[in-house]
Chains A and B, each alone.
Chain A
């Protein structure tokens, strides 16, 4: 069979016997590591919940960043933001697949979801906001370009510190996802740090907007370092990273960037916790509902649709 002689549309149909998904992964190759059993002595539900936490952080952050498509100030920055969103989506897909393999998707599979949907699609499109485990920083409004850069700087510094440690996880999937994520996140952090310095140490007006953006992101920072009971149990099992231990690294990055950017560390109080519960418990800010409405409406209106 000579591939070059085929009609290009035939090749598409051949690749996906039932057409392409109108949304979601459209990707059914087995990721070898995802199907590994939970390591011995590790609670399966805890591991699934932890994969959801880290996967939802990446998924919601990716969805937020993709809002910049067609809206960025310059084409280069639009491409940059889309690329960062894509990197995070890749991490999210592996982690949600892993959570699904450990059973997290089953309760969300209903008659309304097409039976053929992958676990990752069920988890992304058919879960309501109270079942999302992301930290509330990731769902926060990105505001203007300056605020977005502050947001990426904080998020990538934190996630880079987390993934750096997670490379040693006892769970092979987490370790593998982390090993891939580290160089990508380091690149994202460098990009955001460059812009924070450029805008902070730019004109009086850009400085003002950059400081305001950092101020707006600040209330979401303390939650990043609060350990959830699931995390605490998995830290003992050698699977998870203690978020409290990441603070020094994030503080170190910010202490390097903020003075060069002539920005001051904000003093705004933390938000995001209700009775001690935050995003990791499914207690979210109002913003997540709107993010999910955009992300999920097509899939829910037409479950299993193809084109």
Chain B
């Protein structure tokens, strides 16, 4: 199997905690290469402590294992941000009831100011589309989500934190 096809195979592996997203949608699959007889897949963690990384690596080894010996490498650079989630990934998140992150754009290289009086984040409800939502918890069931509630339809939902 040629390298380009191997990428397609690896790209279909799903995230263990966000199974509606493939590793490619999430933007964590960096490269799939042939190194002699071996297949080397390179991924990057979302959060430094993301426990799903181990499961992603195991799933990649299992899926690509049909085509040869697999090595999974992890790279930290450039660091992952939610800006790397594809448009397709954002659509799938919203469909699954998870509000996608906002685009952050280029990151400042200077100090990060502490904004105590920052205006509340505007997040649209993935179910009814209302912008009238509020934060329930800054941290959610996975490292990458926060919990919110819609004031219009009263449904709670997860929001993928912009980071």
Q: Tell me the A residues contacting B by CB distance below 8 Å.
A: 1, 3, 11, 14-15, 26-27, 29-33, 76, 79-80, 82-84, 86-91, 93-94, 157, 160-161, 164, 167, 172-173, 175-177, 179-184, 186-187, 189-191, 193-194, 197, 249, 253, 256-257, 260
* Contact B139–A91 (Cβ < 8 Å): no
Determine the distance from Cα of A82 to Cα of B140 in the docked complex, in whole angstroms: 10
Q: Which residues of A contact B141 (CB under 8 A)?
A: 79
Does chain A have a CB within 8 A of B48? yes
Q: Is the CB of B49 within 8 A of A26?
A: no
Q: Are A33 and B77 in contact (CB under 8 A)?
A: yes
Q: Which residue of B lies closest to A76 (CB)?
A: B137
| CB-based contact A87/B143 at 8 Å | yes
Q: Which residue of A lies closest to B140 (CB)?
A: A79
Complex contacts, A88 vs chain B, CB 8 Å: 49
| Residue with the greatest number of chain B CB neighbours at <10 A, chosen from A14, A183, A257 | A183
Please encode chain B, from 1 to 22, with 1 for each CB lying within 8 Å of some chain A CB and 0 for all others.
Answer: 0000000000000000000000
Does B48 lie within 8 Å of A180, measured CB to CB? yes
Determine the chain A residues whose CB is within 8 A of the CB of B116 once the complex forms: 193, 197, 256-257, 260
A3/B62 contact (C-beta < 8 A), A79-B139, A160-B112, A180-B48 known: yes
Residues of A within 8 A of B65 (CB): 1
Tell me, rounded to whole Å, the shortest Cβ–Cβ distance linking A274 to chain B: 32
Which B positions have Cβ atoms within 8 angstroms of A? 42, 45, 47-51, 53-54, 57-59, 61-63, 65-66, 71-81, 107, 109-112, 114-116, 136-141, 143, 147, 161, 163
The 8 Å CB contact of B81, one of A183, A189, A194, is A183
User: Are the CB atoms of B62 and A26 closer together than 8 Å?
Assistant: no
B51 contacts which chain A residues (CB < 8 A)?
Answer: 86
Known: A87-B49, A93-B49, A94-B76. 10 other contacts (CB 8 A): A1-B65, A30-B73, A91-B49, A164-B111, A176-B76, A177-B48, A179-B77, A179-B78, A183-B163, A257-B114
Decide: A80 near B138, CB < 8 A? Known: A161-B111, A179-B79, A257-B114: yes
How far, in angstroms, from A202 to B107 measured CA to CA in the complex? 35
A176 near B79 with CB under 8 A, answer yes
Contact A3 B63 (CB under 8 A): yes
Bound: A148/B68 CA distance, A: 50
Chain B residues, Cβ within 8 Å of A253: 114
Select one of A27, A161, A193, A256 contacting B53, CB under 8 A. Answer: A27
Bound: A32/B116 CA distance, A: 37
12 contacts between A and B (CB under 8 A): A3-B63, A29-B54, A30-B73, A32-B76, A79-B139, A93-B48, A179-B79, A180-B76, A187-B163, A190-B115, A253-B114, A256-B116
Inter-chain contact A33/B54, CB cutoff 8 Å: no
Task: Point out the residues of chain B lying under 8 angstroms from A3, CB to CB.
Answer: 59, 62-63
Across the interface, A90 reaches (CB within 8 A) one of B42, B49, B77, B139, namely B49
